[in-house]
Every structure is written in C-alpha cells, then in structure tokens.
C-alpha cells in the first residue's frame, strides 16, 4: 500500500517537474547580470490559468509557472487548492512591477499589486528573499530547447 502511494506521488511530481516538452526558462536579471534561471511551465489559456499550481504538493526550487495573457491589465491570483506557499512576480513588458511574497496556501484571499500586468511568475516561497529579486528586475522567457543547443 505504501509503495503504491509513493509511486503515485512520484508520478505526480514527475508530471510537473520534468515534462521537458513544456518547459521554458524564465531568466531573471538586473543591470549587473543574471540573478536566477527557473525552469517553468506556461499557463497560456483559461483552463491552464485556472488550474495553475493547484494540487501540486512539492515543486523543485528551480521550477515555477508563468501565467501569460495577451493584454496587460490588473490581475489577481488566489491559492485555492494550492498546497505550497508561493512568491508571485507581477510582470509587464518583461519588467517586474510588483511582488507578493509567501502567499499562504489553500486560501481564497485575492492577491494583486493593483498594476497592469501581462504575466505572473509563481515560484516557491522564499525565492524572492533568497535571490534578492526586486521590482524593476527583468524577466525574459526563453525556449529551453533552443538554449541547450
């Protein structure tokens, strides 16, 4: 029974953390250079954005999810059925315009920075502080496969 449970958990983790064909790089940088590179999944349609990181129980330190919209406007996030605390980077035109740190899991509290954004990057809580990520830093999306060549 325990082996089956562990196997099921491993499959869930692998489905999020190593599905290589859907992984991109989010490169966070400032005027001095690269701060951090994350392997990310994209949420580009309503269904993907609605699900987001729901039901994910563990996410590797170098992973995240980027929510992308075609137009910039004020956006809000919540943590419904999200089991891990997150830092949220609110981005407009590849520049971080707002940050929410340590969003509490499994809450319906609306989180926004009251600024127009076209992307939001969710990463593990504590990453903003650990890597000194700040408003004004750049976030560049790159195809991981092309970067590897």
CATH number, position 28: 2.60.120.1140
Q: Cβ(39)–Cβ(20) under 8 Å?
A: no
The model carries a pTM of 0.83
Binned at pLDDT 50, 70 and 90, residue 13 comes out as: very low
Cα dihedral 76, 81, 82, 85 sign:
positive
Count of domains in the chain? 1
Distance CA 14, CA 126 (A): 23
The pLDDT-based confidence of 33 (bands split at 50, 70, 90) is very high
* Domain of 46, in residue numbers: 2-148
Q: Which of 33, 30, 56 is nearest to 41 (CA)?
A: 56
Per residue in 37-79, pLDDT (tens digit) is: 999 999 999 999 999 999 999 999 999 999 999 999 999 999 9
Other CB atoms within a 10 A radius of the CB of residue 83 amount to 14
């Amino acid at each position: 029974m325990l082996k089956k449970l562990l196997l099921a958990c491993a499959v869930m983790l692998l489905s999020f953390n190593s599905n290589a064909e859907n992984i991109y790089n989010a490169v966070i940088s400032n005027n001095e250079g690269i701060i951090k590179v994350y392997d990310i999944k994209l949420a580009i349609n309503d269904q993907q954005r609605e699900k987001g990181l729901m039901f994910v129980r563990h996410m590797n330190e170098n992973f995240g999810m980027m929510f992308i919209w075609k137009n910039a406007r004020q956006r809000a996030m919540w943590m419904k059925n999200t089991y891990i605390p997150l830092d949220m980077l609110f981005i407009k035109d590849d520049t971080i315009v707002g940050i929410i740190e340590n969003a509490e899991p499994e809450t319906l509290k609306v989180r926004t920075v009251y600024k127009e954004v076209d992307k939001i990057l969710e990463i593990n809580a504590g990453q903003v502080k650990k890597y000194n990520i700040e408003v004004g830093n750049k976030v560049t999306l790159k195809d991981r496969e092309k970067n590897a060549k």
